[in-house]
Each structure stands twice: as C-alpha cells, then as structure tokens.
C-alpha cells in the first residue's frame, strides 16, 4: 500500500508496533494533537495575518493551528475565519472554506523556527513555502525555499 510518499511493507517486524517503513520515515508525533492558538512571528519581524477580506499580510493576528494529519496542519485566522492557503500557482490567500490548498506541512528547522509548505502543490518538484517579505507582503511560493529566512516563523503562545 502506498500513501502520500510513504512506502509501507506488510508483515515486517516493525509493522506490529506501528512503525512506518520506507524511505520517508520521520517522526512528527510532537506536531499532532489539539488546536493551538499562536501568533506566527516571521524572521522578517512581522506577524502573519489573514484579514477579513482573505488577504494575507504581515501585521498582528491570532491564528489557530489545527493538526490535520501527522506533520500536516491547517492555519486559520481567528479574527477573519479564513484559512491560510497556497494556490497551485504558489499564491498565498485566505480561503473561506477548508480545502486541499489549506493543508500545510509544518517542520521545525534546526534554528528553532517553523516552516510551512504546501502539502498538496509543488513547483518543479520543489516545495512552496509560506513567507513574508521585508515589507510584510506575502511571497509567492514558487520563489521560496526552506533555507530562505523569509519562510521561517516563530510560533508565540497567546
């Protein structure tokens, strides 16, 4: 059985204890669980915000981070009730309803910051990340990379 890049082998000794086998084995158990209310502070000194018109920009806002799957989250602006989404073209926007554009892979980087990449869409086999420019404007996912500091966010408890 193959599921989203994970290769599982039936009947193996580790299968009985629930360990997935394959080349993409990572542990994201720390990212599962309840809804987390956070402000996402970018390395560019802005808080990520989804406004009441669904626009994404960098000012203060409280966000709700909900686990959808292991290592996959949905981010919702509490004030606007819009979900953070990345379109197939890599554009950040606010979606009124939760959909496939709203699923984001959350990863904690070596420097302690989190990155959020589209779980569904890629650009030329590269991940597209949520990022804010030095002016607080959303970056296009096609231009972002994991090592780009504009894509790094610190979740701050509210």
Residue 79 CA, distance from chain mean position: 19
Rounded to the nearest 5°, which phi and psi values hold at 151?
A: -100, 5
53: Cβ contacts below 8 Å, ≥ 6 apart: 80, 94
At residue 59, the pLDDT reads 67
Higher pLDDT, 30 or 96: 96
Q: Which two tokens stand for residue 146?
A: 């994991």
pLDDT in tens, 98-122: 999 999 999 988 888 899 999 988 8
Residue carrying the six token digits 């500091």:
149
Q: Can you name the CATH fold of 32-157?
A: Trefoil (Acidic Fibroblast Growth Factor, subunit A) (2.80.10)
Q: How far apart are CA 73 and CA 37, in angstroms?
A: 12
Higher pLDDT, 84 or 33: 84
Q: How far apart are CA 73 and CA 104, in angstroms?
A: 5
Q: What is the pTM assigned to this prediction?
A: 0.71
Domain with CATH 2.80.10.50 in the chain: 32-157
Mapping DSSP to helix (H, G, I), strand (E, B) and coil, where does residue 110 land? Answer: coil
CA angle in degrees (0–180, nearest 5) for 157-118-84: 50
Higher pLDDT, 82 or 61: 82
Confidence band of 74 (pLDDT split at 50, 70, 90): very high
pLDDT in tens, 6-39: 444 444 444 444 445 555 545 545 445 577 788 8
């Amino acid at each position: 059985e193959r599921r989203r890049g994970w290769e599982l082998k039936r009947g193996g000794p580790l299968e009985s204890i629930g360990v997935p086998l394959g080349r993409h084995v990572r542990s994201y158990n720390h990212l599962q669980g309840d809804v987390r209310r956070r402000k996402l502070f970018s390395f560019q000194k802005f808080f990520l915000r989804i406004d009441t018109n669904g626009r994404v920009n960098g000012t203060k806002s409280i966000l709700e981070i909900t686990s959808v799957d292991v290592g996959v989250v949905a981010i919702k602006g509490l004030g606007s009730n819009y979900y953070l989404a990345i379109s197939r073209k890599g554009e950040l926007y606010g979606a009124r309803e939760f959909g496939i554009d709203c699923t984001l892979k959350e990863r904690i980087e070596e420097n302690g910051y989190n990155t959020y990449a589209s779980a569904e869409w890629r650009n030329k086999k590269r991940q597209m990340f949520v990022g804010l420019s030095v002016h607080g404007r959303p970056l296009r996912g096609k231009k972002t990379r994991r090592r780009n500091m504009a894509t790094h966010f610190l979740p701050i408890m509210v």
